[in-house]
Structure 1
Amino acid sequence: MARTTANQPPQSTDRPLYAQVATLLLDELRDGVIPPGERLPSERHLAAHFGVSRETVRQALEMLRRSGAVATDRRGSHATLPGGPVEAPQSLAFPVGARSADPCAVDRATVTWEVPPAEHAEVLGLAPHRPTLVHRYRSVAPDGRALRAAVTSFSAVALAEVAELARYRDRADGATPAQLRRAYDWMRRAGLTLHHRDAISQLGDTASVRVTRRVHDQYARPLEITDLVVTAERDALVYEFTLPAAG
């Protein structure tokens, strides 16, 4: 559902509007936009996505439930089309580059409620001088050397949609430890499909590199941006991917 405009049903048809929405949603489920077993976005989000009322979305979901394409339990509605399970996916570490190659390194992380860096605010669509949840991570060697450091800013969307993140606002004092290692799991549980874009660049003539990760959801709404700096001459940055077998 990674669209920037509503996917409105065609108007020149005799089919009820909810049936048209059900067909559009079913097409997206078959395209794998939401994997089997994954929680669907909320009725409010689906209504905005398709440009219809929440009642129309409710009727469309009921139609898909009757056909067996969607199932609903106390956690919400889920896609049930045939496909691989997604109950225990391999989660990406938060923040990007968390955990140094040095087994003796000590991780430190805190959160603050503050105005983010200007480039972060621009990417996240935040108004100038508007504060948000900012996460700072450092990996330090036993001798006090900084091995890697990351700064993450979360968008207003992430804080509105992910209850676990929103709760940190009251304790964002810059002193309380806050690793947030499960941040991406929390986002997925909130019904968000995560799209990551990582860019790696060298910092001038130094041996350090910067990794910038941008994350948005299935509606192309920004969720977070992280800047990680790694001292490459002393540490290694490893990306690990798992791809399922075909068929």
Structure 2
Amino acid sequence: MARTTHPSDHEPLYSRIATQLLGELRDGSIPPGERLPGERELATRFGVSRETVRQALQMLRRSGLVSTDRRGSHATLPGTTAEHVPSLDFPVGAHTAEPCAVRRTTVNWETPPPEHAHALGLAPRRPTLVHRYESAAADGTGLRTAVTSFSAVAVTEVEELARYRDRADGTAEAQLRRAYDWMRKAGLTLHHRDSITRLPQSVRVTRRVHDQYDRPLEITDLVVDAQQDALVYEFTLPAAG
């Protein structure tokens, strides 16, 4: 295959582009966990052909610095993969360290609540993956219930969620605690937005999650039996560098 060369030092152009792209991965210009831009966008950015970009990506793949699947290309530099990001249990805030006498989770392929369908951009009566969680203490206090609806984007692009479609009958125990890890592995950067509403005997938290392209991924309604004045959320994030 003919190779385009730099006119001054005869370095293959694709090699120079690979070096520049690797620099962006290392300096954080392309954030960890996000998919690399498409070949067309990279070609425009570097002022080269898509074939040159394709050769540069192939060079990085051979070096083990980039991996490509049906969802696109992802950096595999040490410390940049989703597995190195601390995990958040799904749904956030539903799980408690207190001993529970009742804890049940199920998934079903069904029409979501109307407000969920609207938030996710789903057509009326279009079914999707719906997750339900319930826990309570032995004496029945501390009841927590959560209903989550996933968007078409999440079910289509996150392989582990897609597998539930054919077996989501509302009866089997569902283990989705790593749902956010699965989303990051699929190249999705997660942005959470919580709205907290105080009710007479409980607190409702409505959580909306979207990706780096502002596409909705899921919406959760979490209701916590509130016997105290404050609802405490605790998050741990890695230090920079």
Pairwise TM-score range, normalised by the shorter structure: 0.7 to 0.9
- Structure 1 segments unaligned to the other structure (5+ residues): 1-17
What residue number does 1:242 align with? Answer: 236
Taking structure 1 as the reference length, the TM-score comes to 0.72
Distance 1:245 1:138 in 2: 33
Does the 8 Å CA contact 2:194/2:207 hold for their aligned counterparts?
yes
1:42-73 C-alpha deviation (Å, 9 max, x unpaired): xxx83697898xxx667435436658999224
Larger radius of gyration: 2
Query: Can you list the C-alpha shifts for 1:13-65, whole angstroms capped at 9, x where unaligned?
Result: xxxxx9xx999978975555521xx3625xxx83697898xxx6674354366
Question: How far, CA to CA, are the matches of 1:83 and 1:185 in structure 2?
Answer: 15
Q: Deviations over 1:113-145 (max 9, x none)?
A: 111011110110000111111000001222345
Aligned partner of 2:96 in structure 1 is 100
Backbone CA RMSD of aligned residues? 3.7
* 8 Å CA contact 2:157, 2:186 repeated in 1: yes
What's 1:11 paired with?
A: none
Residues 64/115 of structure 1: CA separation in 2 closer, same or farther (3 Å cut): same
Unaligned runs of at least 5 residues, structure 2:
1-13
1:216 alignment partner, one of 201, 210, 216: 210
Q: State how far apart, in whole Å, the 1-side matches of 2:143 and 2:229 are.
A: 7
> Which residue matches 1:9?
none
For residues 52-201 of structure 1, what are the structure 2 equivalents within 5 Å? 59-60=52-53, 62-63=55-56, 71-73=65-67, 77-79=73-75, 87-145=83-141, 147-201=143-197
Change (3 A) 1:230 1:50: farther
CA distance 1:244–1:147, shift in 2 (3 Å): same
Give the AA of the match of 1:188. Answer: R
Which of 38, 47, 66 aligns to 1:46? It is 38
The AA in structure 2 aligned to 1:171 is: R
Shift of 1:77: 3.8
Q: Give the deviation of 1:246 after TM superposition.
A: 4.8
With over 3 angstroms needed to count, the CA separation of the structure-2 counterparts of 1:73 and 1:80, relative to structure 1, is: closer
